[in-house]
């Protein structure tokens, strides 16, 4: 019986020594510092680990959406791609739609009254006819797909036809 208990004690002692050796119980570096320098995580100073988001939620205003204090936009300078008409934006938008329907060769792809625009095709060109409230009435203009004044021959011809129809 004594021999069995001695074997049992020695087995337990051997198991304890093996456990301590396998767990790496030693004095020295712990955690990430025990790793080789190539695999340690990058240390970043506290003030550099969070990006600056102070201006992240600022939405810039579009030039076409900026209105003066009076509520209407200032009329653009006179050009071949637009003209000003007296009246309310809603009335002029309806008149522009009626006038576009009577001009030969105009294809209205879509209309958006809230945006004040007609997407039209005319003589092989595609552009928007925009209706915008300005200080002196309503500005009707042609705008190319980039949002710039349309100056190609078809747009100038259509705006000229619209001006003649709406002025009369």
What CATH number is associated with residue 94?
3.30.310.170
Residue 12 lies in a domain: yes
146 shares a domain with 87: yes
pLDDT, tens digit (0-9, with 9 covering 90-100), for 74-131: 545 556 778 999 999 999 999 999 999 999 999 999 999 999 999 999 999 999 999 9
104 shares a domain with 35: no
pTM of the model: 0.53
Residue 67 lies in a domain: no
Please say whether the beta carbons of 75 and 136 come within 8 A. yes
pLDDT, tens digit (0-9, with 9 covering 90-100), for 22-80: 665 555 566 766 778 778 777 777 777 677 777 777 776 665 554 544 445 554 555 67
Please choose, from the candidates 132, 134, 148, the residue with its C-alpha nearest in 3D space to the C-alpha of residue 81. Answer: 148
Domain count, the chain: 2
Residue 57 lies in a domain: no
Residue 94: which domain range?
82-167
Q: How far apart are CA 122 and CA 115, in angstroms?
A: 20
Residue 73 lies in a domain: no
In DSSP terms, which residues pair with 119 in a beta bridge? 110, 128
What is residue 141's predicted lDDT score, i.e. its pLDDT?
A: 93
Q: How far apart are CA 142 and CA 119, in angstroms?
A: 10
What is residue 65's predicted lDDT score, i.e. its pLDDT?
A: 52
User: Which two tokens mark 10?
Assistant: 């020695």
Please say whether the beta carbons of 99 and 85 come within 8 A. no
In DSSP terms, which residues pair with 107 in a beta bridge? 121
Q: How far apart are CA 155 and CA 167, in angstroms?
A: 18
């Amino acid at each position: 019986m004594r021999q069995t208990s001695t074997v049992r004690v020695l087995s337990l002692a051997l198991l304890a020594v093996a456990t301590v050796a396998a767990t790496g119980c030693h004095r020295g570096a712990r955690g990430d510092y025990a790793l080789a320098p190539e695999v340690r995580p990058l240390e970043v100073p506290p003030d550099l680990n969070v990006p600056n988001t102070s201006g992240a939620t600022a939405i810039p205003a579009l030039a076409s959406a900026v209105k003066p204090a009076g509520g209407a936009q200032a009329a653009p300078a006179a050009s071949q791609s637009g003209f000003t008409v007296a009246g309310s934006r809603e009335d002029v938008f309806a008149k522009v739609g009626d006038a576009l329907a009577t001009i030969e060769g105009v294809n209205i792809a879509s209309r958006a009254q809230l945006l004040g625009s007609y997407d039209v095709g005319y003589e092989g060109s595609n552009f928007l006819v925009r209706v915008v409230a300005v200080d002196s009435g309503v500005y009707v203009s042609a705008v190319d797909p980039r949002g710039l004044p349309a100056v190609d021959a078809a747009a100038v011809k259509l705006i000229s036809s619209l001006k003649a129809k709406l002025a009369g």
